[in-house]
Structure 1
Amino acid sequence: MTRSPVKLAAPQRVRTYLALFALALILPVLAVSFIGLNRMAAIEQSQIERRVMQIAQNLRFVVDRELDRALVTLETLATSSELRTGNMSAFHRQAVLALKPTKAAIVLIDTSYRQLVDTLKDFGAELPPTSDPVTAQRVIDTGKPQISNLFRGSVNGLPVFNVEVPVFDDEKRVRYVLIMSFQAAYVAEVLTEVRLDPSWLAGVTDSKGIVLARSQQQDEYVGKPLPPELFEQTKNAEQVYPATNIAGDRILRATVRSERAPWFVSATVPLSHTQEPYYRGLFFVALLAAMALVLGGSLAYLFARLMARPLDAATQAAASVGRGEDVNTVQTSLVEANVLIETLATASKELNERAQHSDFLMRELVHRAKNQLAVVKGMALQTARESATVNEFIDQFDRRILGLAQSQDLLLRQNWRGAWLHDLVRAHLEPFGAGSRADISGPDLFLDTTAVQNIGFALHELATNASKYGVLSTDAGRVVIVWRQVEEGGIRLSWSESDGPPSHMEREGFGHRVITELVPRALNSSSILDFTPRGIRWEILIPAGHVAR
């Protein structure tokens, strides 16, 4: 046989089940909140990545724009008539006027890398060879503009880079290399045109992985190489990627290549900044969970107390029922407990009434048993006096005991409260087969136990006499039993025989004494017995006190 899972679990208190119920309500909400938080964090992460890439592209635009301006200026100066005629003094003045950035200089070198003009020096001053012959040689070899990596200038000794264009002679050969040399700090200033949050960082790295410009702490990091791992990520990155910057901080970085120079323009944001919304949401979910658990536990405890008191009252009521005490109906805060207590109160009342009735029945049974023994004793003595032999005694005594039993059966059916008069008459006629030869009529009346026993005695004796000597000893005889209410409130019951032999009953016999003396005396009443040629006629007045209903 399978057992219920509920029965397998150890019994728990109400507050435990309420706490589990609260937890069952809270956990799905927290799970949905956590899933929603992760989804929102993923969306926000994607938005941050798009923003980082967009900023990197904006930074590349402003850097390339400045490089384009420098190229346009140089290409314009390369067509100068003073430069074609070799008037270097006039070209020096023209170059100084062409300079707009304060952190730049214009330099003119020949194909042997010798500086002819440098706006950082007065014209005619002694000038050292160029510090970046590699880029100049590329211009000479390709005949196209070139932009250098970071190096230190030969005149000012600062970190600089060059924008270089060729100057052709009449035969389209490179005669000079015209250079605009920028301090690296100039690019750092250009980067500030793109407005960034304080935690964000913009940077430019040359093709060798050297930091050329930085939107923050430019002087501290310019000229320093990127960590090898970061430089590899910079060269190969196509999307936003997590990394560790030169300062050792975890970052989210986007890198794009400049369209004018062999540089990498990057935008970075601290990884902690990108994860801050997630952790903030996680903290909020944790706080929500803690508050929900505390609130759910508190409410479960409160409701458990509110439920425990009515249940305790119901338990006390049940204990009172067990002790046989009356249960008083009380109103609690729990409807089910009120119904249970009210039911227990009703049950207690009914049980007490049944117990009292049982006590009454026991006392009545003892009393009736004594009476019955007395009646049986009297019946035995009277029957013995009338009987000539033992067999005759047994026969008469057995019939009278049977008649007494008929009345007892009727009383037992009605819990010893009495019996219906109609049932009583039928019960004492049927053993003699007189049911179909008797006319029985009268209103529905309920007699008490005394009337049932005594009227039953009389009916039994009358039926016995009629079967032996009277109308029931022949096929034609009939019996008419009628009762009616009289003015005094009592009942007048009559027994009339017809179409039978002449009346006969021993006047000194037990049956005669029963219907004329014993029964009227027991009912505190009177009776009439007539002997007619047609049969016996007997009539008795049953007082109203013996009529229960």
Structure 2
Amino acid sequence: MVPVWLFATYLLIQYAVHERSRFEQDAQQTARQASLIVEGELNNLQTIVDGLSKSTALATGDLQAFRTEALSRAQGSDRIILLRDFSRSQLLNTTAPQGASLPPVAPLSEWERRQLGAARFVVSNVFAGSDGKDYRLAISERVRIPARDDLLLSITIPTSRIRDVMMRAVPEGWTVGVGDRDGNYVARSTSHEEMSGKPGLPEYPEKIVGRSGTFTFRNDQGLTQLVGYYRSQYSDWFYMANIPLSAVQSPLWRSLAAIVGIALVALFISGCLAYVVGKRLTGAAAQLAARADALGRGAKVEPLTTTVMEFDTIANALVSAERAIAERKFELETVLETVPAGVWFTYDPKALQVIRNRFAAELMGLPTDTPKAFGAPDLVIDTVAEKDGRMVSRQDRPLSRAMRGELTDNEEFSYTLPSGGRRHLLSSARPIRDPEGGIIGAVQISLDISDRKRAEEQRKLLVNELNHRVKNTLAVVQSIASQTIRNSTSLAEARRTLSSRLVSLAKAHDVLTHENWRGADLEELIAASIRPHAPMERFQLSGDEVWVEPNIALSFALAFHELTTNAIKYGALSNATGTVSISWGLIEQGPDRRLELEWRESGGPVVAAVKRKGFGMQLLEGMFSRVSRVSLSFDEAGLLAAFSVSLSASTGLSTSAARAAG
């Protein structure tokens, strides 16, 4: 409404200026019209005077006859015709009887003398009549008479005649006045009798400048008047048209009142419309704000139905933003729930409340089967943290340090959980900053390196075990080589025997390596020890599934090698019909388990008892002396070797159970 009111005010000012200008023009026009009407009457009187000036009686000096003509022109009217010289003497006056003594008249003014010198006619100022009350004016003509001085023929009328003539040009509400050259009122449309012949306000001569114009003044009653004036070239009188300024301004005030009234009505209507529209806008704005708040809280943003196009556009943008954020959120949650790394967020300055993903919950031993909205904070669990063998307080852990602005990169920590389990984590942490750079939260990402740490420990153990086994193996090889060389009759025999024994030892190593040196299956070990030297068809194997430890497996491998080579040389395998039967079984003796194994040869040559123990027998007895008993019997039917080996609880398992336990 303010621009409308400003425009209305501008129009009102323009209207006021236009109305003032119009009234000023009307005032000047009224004064001009009054002068035309009055001067028309003066021209009529001038015509009468001009006609009398051409009288033959006046030209011949017959004043009696001229008097008769003058009376005929003045009879029945308020006109007075007189004849005078340029001094003050009257020669004829239609109001005086024939032959009466005529009083002197007022002398001519300097202006009148100059005017008569330049023209034939002159209009006088207002003057008082013979009674001193009736103010009159005169139109005079210079009359030239042969053989005598020029005379002045005049006709006078009361100023009321001018008033009556002038009234035809006075609009309603206006006051028109006529002033003579001395500033005295000639006539006035109102209060003529009181003002005629009286001097006007002294401001008039000061303000009447030029031929026409307007001015304002305050009259005797204190009312401000708008005056338009016109100065006549004919009589040098000035004509004034007055109107109260309030009358000029009244249309303006009426227009102003109308505009104010219209403005109030418009204000009321606009207020009602503003209330209705504002209520709709505020309602839509409140709904829009609620949706923006829902977007900020991560809640679902419902579409907004409104006739305000801008709000509808913004609401649709919020809905689209909520959908895009939800998609990104689901993607992020899916990534965080899928990635094999523990992720913790915190916005708590003390880092006691955290948001964790599924893998982080698993790392801390928390249940993950209960559905839980991602982003809901939980209290941290009470764990014991260690780094490089030293205890680490909660304030010095990666997430707490990140809340203080510190950066953590790939630091290893060992955590003891409330359940007693241990986790080894490789952790990195960063602070979360707002756009101004302030810290508002922190994030920690940890990889579970428990398997790697266990693998490192296992590798360490394996290296130590390998060192131990290599030393033992080298000792065995050294012993085998030494005994082989000592008991061989030739270098070629020593080389052949040593090579054969080392091959058996290598086959046993192959079996153990295949099982990662956890042990070996007894039947598989027997076959691997025999197969390089003799066909398996000459052997009969029977027994339970038994898993033996690596050291016992190596001892059995060398024992079977010695027994096989001995059978090939001297026993059942030295001919084409002999066979070897190998049987074994587990015997429970309280908490102890014992493996009973029997090597029985048959079908070979007759065996005689040996008088001296060879290297093979010494090897058998030496390898099993600590945990076993070995007995050799040289029957005529063939060699019988019996082994009784003490096994631990784990090595006494079946092969499948031992492999599963390993």
With normalisation by structure 1, the TM-score equals: 0.53
Of residues 100, 103, 107 in structure 1, which corresponds to 2:78? 103
- Higher RCO by CA contacts (8 Å cutoff, separation 6 or greater): 1
Aligned to 2:130: 154
Question: Residue 299 of structure 1: which of 251, 254, 273 is its match?
Answer: 273
Larger displacement relative to structure 2 (103-112 or 259-268): 103-112
Check conservation: 1:314, 1:340, Cα contact below 8 A: no
Does residue 1:55 correspond to 2:24, yes or no? no
C-alpha distance in structure 1 between counterparts of 2:183 and 2:114, whole Å: 25
2:141 aligns with 165
Matched, 1:232 2:380: no
The answer (yes or no) to whether the contact 1:326–1:348 under 8 Å persists in 2 is: no
Contact residue 99 and residue 105 of structure 1 kept, 8 A? yes
Which residue of structure 2 aligns with residue 215 of structure 1? 189
Alignment of 1:256 with 2:256, yes or no, is no
Is the Cα contact below 8 Å between 2:116 and 2:122 reproduced in 1? no
Q: Alignment partner for residue 186 of structure 1, among 161, 166, 173? A: 161
3-state SS of paired residue (1:76): helix
Unpaired stretches in structure 1, ≥5 consecutive residues: 1-25, 396-463, 470-505, 515-549
Q: Is 1:391 aligned with 2:366? A: no
State the shift of 1:305 in Å.
1.9
Cα distance per residue 1:302-340 (max 9 Å; x no partner):
333223333444556677889998887674555538548
- Pairwise mapping of residues 297-336 of structure 1 onto structure 2 (< 5 A)? 297-313=271-287, 331=305, 335-336=311-312
Measured in 2, the distance between the counterparts of 1:111 and 1:62 equals 30
Opposite residue 105 of structure 1, the aligned amino acid is I
For 1:192, what is the secondary structure of its paired residue? helix
- 1:134 paired with 2:108, answer yes
Amino acid across the alignment from 2:56: S
Whichever residue aligns with residue 169 of structure 1, its letter is I
- 1:365-384, aligned counterparts within 5 Å? 365=362, 366=366
The 1:510–1:392 alpha-carbon spacing in structure 2 relative to 1, beyond 3 Å, is farther
- 1:145 maps to 121
TM-score normalised per structure 2? 0.45
Look up the SS of the partner of 1:177 in the other structure: strand
Q: C-alpha distance in 2, partners of 1:249/1:68?
A: 36
1:78 corresponding residue in structure 2? 53
Q: Match of 2:213, SS?
A: coil
Q: Kindly indicate whether residue 222 of structure 2 is the aligned counterpart of residue 265 of structure 1.
A: no
TM superposition shift of 1:149: 1.2
SS of match in other structure, 1:269? strand
**Contact 1:131–1:152 (CA<8 Å) still a contact in 2?**
no
Distance 2:459 2:302 in 1: 66
* Aligned counterparts of 2:516 and 2:257: Cα–Cα separation in 1: 106
Distance in 2 of aligned mates of 1:289 and 1:394? 104
Superimposed CA distance per residue, residues 347-366 of structure 1 (whole angstroms, 9 cap, x where no aligned partner): 999999989x9999599954
The residue number in structure 2 matching 1:508 is 656
On the 8 A contact 2:228/2:242 being kept in 1, the answer is yes
Q: CA deviation at 1:226?
A: 1.2
In 2: Cα distance, 1:132 partner to 1:271 partner: 40
- Please state whether the residue corresponding to 2:108 is helix, strand or coil: helix
Q: Is the Cα contact below 8 Å between 2:176 and 2:188 reproduced in 1?
A: yes
1:417 corresponding residue in structure 2: none
Could you tell me how far apart the structure 2 residues matched to 1:107 and 1:220 are?
27
Q: Taking every aligned residue pair, what percent have the same amino acid on both sides? A: 23
| Aligned CA-pair RMSD | 5.3
Distance 1:507 1:165, change over 3 A: same
- In 1, the alpha carbon distance for the partners of 2:183 and 2:51 equals 32
- The Cα offsets for residues 29-55 of structure 1, whole Å up to 9 and x where unpaired, read as 433443344344434434443443333
What is the DSSP-based 3-state SS (H/G/I as helix, E as strand, rest coil) of the residue aligned with 2:54?
A: coil
Cα gap change, 1:184/1:209 in structure 2, threshold over 3 Å: closer, same or farther?
A: same
Pair member with larger Rg:
2
Corresponding letter in the other structure for 1:70: L
Asked whether the 8 Å contact 1:188–1:215 carries over to 2, the reply is yes
Which blocks of at least 5 consecutive residues in structure 2 are unaligned?
A: 338-354, 371-418, 423-449, 466-512, 519-653
Can you list the C-alpha shifts for 1:356-415, whole angstroms capped at 9, x where unaligned?
A: x99995999545799xx9x99xxx9xxx9xxx99925999xxxxxxxxxxxxxxxxxxxx
Is contact 1:139-1:146 (8 Å) kept?
Answer: no
CA shift in 2, pair 1:333/1:279, >3 Å = same
Residue 42 (structure 2) aligns with: 67
Letter in 2 for 1:134: L
Cα offset, 1:154, TM superposition: 0.7
Q: Are the equivalent residues in 1 in contact too, given 2:91–2:102 (CA < 8 A)?
A: no
2:496 corresponding residue in structure 1:
none
Q: CA deviation at 1:79?
A: 2.6
SS in 1 for 2:137: strand
Note the alpha carbon deviations across 1:180-202, whole angstroms, 9 max, x for none: 111001111222343x4312332
In 2, Cα distance between equivalents of 1:183 and 1:89: 26
User: Distance between the aligned counterparts of 2:26 and 2:142, measured in 1?
Assistant: 39
Distance in 2 between residues matched to 1:134 and 1:48, nearest whole Å: 39
Cα–Cα, structure 1 residues 137 and 117, in superposed 2: closer, same or farther, change >3 Å?
Answer: farther
Alpha-carbon distance between aligned partners in 1 of 2:304 and 2:111, rounded to the nearest angstrom:
108
Residue in 2 aligned with 1:451? none
1:325 and 1:228 mapped to 2: Cα distance? 89
Greater share of residues in strand: 2
Report the alpha carbon displacement of residue 272 of structure 1 after superposing the two structures with TM. 3.1
Does the residue aligned with 1:93 lie in a helix, a strand or coil?
helix
Deviations 1:398-453 (A, max 9, x none): xxxxxxxxxxxxxxxxxxxxxxxxxxxxxxxxxxxxxxxxxxxxxxxxxxxxxxxx
Measure, in 1, the Cα distance between the counterparts of 2:295 and 2:110. Answer: 113
1:201 aligns with 2:175: yes
1:158 Cα deviation (Å)?
0.8
| Counterpart in the other structure of 2:431 | none
Amino acid at match of 2:461: N
Q: CA–CA distance in 2 between the matches of 1:368 and 1:65?
A: 121
